[in-house]
């Protein structure tokens, strides 16, 4: 069950005339605006309470539309587009002058993605413009994987296209192709190893100075519930306060299923009477890298 074609068409008109629409993607729900309209994009920052120093990902309907928004389209971008688009991969490339500076927080680069969710693709088609879209929640809160999470965070001011749970469940992988070497700016369910199989070595952000590959937003507390989140071993939970422990058997043993369930679980457990949420540490390995990354940020 998803939104009816008339609803998508109406949402496309809202976007084309400068309004905001929250919509499903395969990663999390996004808060979209026309990426070529600076005033519309300003409404995203306002609605989220997001600082202007944090750049937005621009969603497009296909690789040709992505190329049109890039000043330079590297060979490696073309290869990754063929391998992983549509899908949960954002590529950072030099930006085309048509993209207003507010979208990229003044950076000379832009993050581009072709989502695979059929409703997101239909909406891009209906709007007829690229959509700047961060997660549809107040800044630093846990990203929404259900329409109900969007409404709980942003209220009723923004229309939400409801297509049920987001399948991937955590934010896209972000790789920069703007410098000499590809750099993984944010891990996601498309892993560093997956990227390396297509374009060769991909450096980790830790191997670079912040100045060389700016990844704004990555160093701030992010994706956090209101309750204190702890990642614990062998059930070693706090002795004080009221909390919930999520044991090893209570989350999926498969990384893709774990990611898909994680934020919904945090939203559900994050109640006013809960001081802490203690999650048993998930397994290690490449498939789990993005999950460890999000838990580390949420637990900061
Ligand atoms: P989100 O919060 O899911 O909308 O993702 C935005 C994140 O994508 C930012 O916090 C950055 O990590 C990354 N990003 C987007 N655009 C750029 C860019 N031009 N340069 C570097 N990172 C970017
Ligand atoms: Mg977010």
Could you tell me the domains of the chain?
Answer: 5-204 (3.90.870.10), 228-298 (no CATH)
Q: Is ligand 1 within 6 A of the CB of residue 278?
A: no
Q: Is ligand 1 within 6 A of the CB of residue 92?
A: yes
Q: Is ligand 1 within 6 A of the CB of residue 135?
A: yes
Question: Separation of 291 CA from ligand 1 center, angstroms?
Answer: 18
Provide the phi-psi class of 49: left if phi over 0, else alpha when psi is between -120 and 50, else beta.
Answer: left
pLDDT at 206: 76
Atom in ligand 1 nearest the alpha carbon of residue 111: 16
Question: Separation of 217 CA from ligand 2 center, angstroms?
Answer: 9
Q: Whose CA is nearest to atom 19 of ligand 1?
A: 110
Nearest ligand to residue 53 Cα? 1
Mutation test of ligand 1: which of 31, 35, 49, 55 has the most ligand atoms closer than 8 Å to its C-beta? Answer: 55
pLDDT at 208: 66
Rounded mean pLDDT for each run of 10 residues along the chain, 300 residues in total: 94 98 98 98 95 93 98 98 98 98 96 98 98 95 96 95 98 96 96 98 78 54 82 96 95 98 96 95 97 91
pLDDT at 214: 59
Question: Separation of 234 CA from ligand 2 center, angstroms?
Answer: 30
Which residues keep their CB under 5 angstroms from ion ligand 2? 135, 143
Provide the phi-psi class of 205: left if phi over 0, else alpha when psi is between -120 and 50, else beta.
Answer: alpha
Q: Is ligand 1 within 6 A of the CB of residue 174?
A: yes
pLDDT at 217: 52
Question: Separation of 111 CA from ligand 1 center, angstroms?
Answer: 6
State both tokens at 205: 């952000």
pLDDT at 210: 52
Q: Whose CA is nearest to atom 22 of ligand 1?
A: 215
Atom in ligand 1 nearest the alpha carbon of residue 107: 19
What is the C-alpha to C-alpha distance for residues 53 and 76, in angstroms, rounded to an integer? Answer: 27
What is the C-alpha to C-alpha distance for residues 80 and 300, in angstroms, rounded to an integer? Answer: 32
Question: Separation of 294 CA from ligand 2 center, angstroms?
Answer: 11
Give phi and psi for 243, each to the nearest 5. Answer: -150, 175
Q: Is ligand 1 within 6 A of the CB of residue 171?
A: yes
Per DSSP, which regions of the chain are E strands? 21-23, 30-34, 57-59, 89-94, 109-113, 131-132, 173-176, 183-186, 203-204, 228-232, 243-246, 276-280
Question: Separation of 33 CA from ligand 2 center, angstroms?
Answer: 15
Predicted model pTM: 0.95
């Amino acid at each position: 069950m998803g939104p009816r074609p008339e609803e998508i068409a109406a949402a496309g008109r809202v976007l084309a005339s400068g309004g905001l629409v929250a919509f499903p993607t395969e990663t999390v729900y996004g808060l979209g605006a026309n990426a070529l309209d600076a005033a519309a994009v300003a409404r995203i920052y306002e609605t989220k309470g997001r600082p202007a120093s944090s750049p937005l990902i621009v969603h497009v309907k296909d690789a040709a539309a992505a190329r049109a928004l890039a000043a330079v389209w590297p060979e490696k971008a073309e290869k990754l587009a063929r391998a992983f688009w549509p899908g949960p991969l954002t590529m950072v490339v030099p930006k085309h002058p048509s993209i207003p500076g507010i979208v990229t927080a003044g950076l000379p680069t832009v993050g581009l993605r072709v989502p695979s969710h059929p409703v997101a693709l239909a909406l891009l088609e209906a709007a007829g413009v690229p959509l700047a879209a961060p997660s549809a929640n107040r800044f630093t809160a846990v990203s929404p994987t259900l329409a109900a999470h969007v409404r709980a965070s942003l209220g009723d001011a923004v229309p939400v296209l409801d297509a049920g749970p987001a399948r991937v469940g955590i934010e896209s992988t972000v790789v920069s192709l703007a410098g000499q070497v590809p750099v993984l700016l944010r891990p996601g369910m498309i892993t560093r190893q997956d990227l390396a199989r297509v374009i060769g070595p991909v450096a980790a952000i830790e191997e670079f100075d912040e100045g060389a590959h700016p990844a704004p937003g990555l160093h701030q507390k992010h994706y956090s519930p209101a309750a204190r989140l702890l990642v614990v071993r062998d059930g070693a939970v706090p002795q004080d306060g009221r909390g919930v422990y999520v044991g090893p058997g209570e989350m999926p043993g498969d990384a893709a299923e774990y990611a898909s369930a994680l934020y919904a679980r945090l939203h559900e457990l994050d109640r006013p009477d809960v001081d802490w949420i203690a999650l048993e540490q998930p397994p290690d390995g490449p498939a789990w890298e993005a999950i460890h990354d999000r838990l580390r940020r949420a637990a900061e």
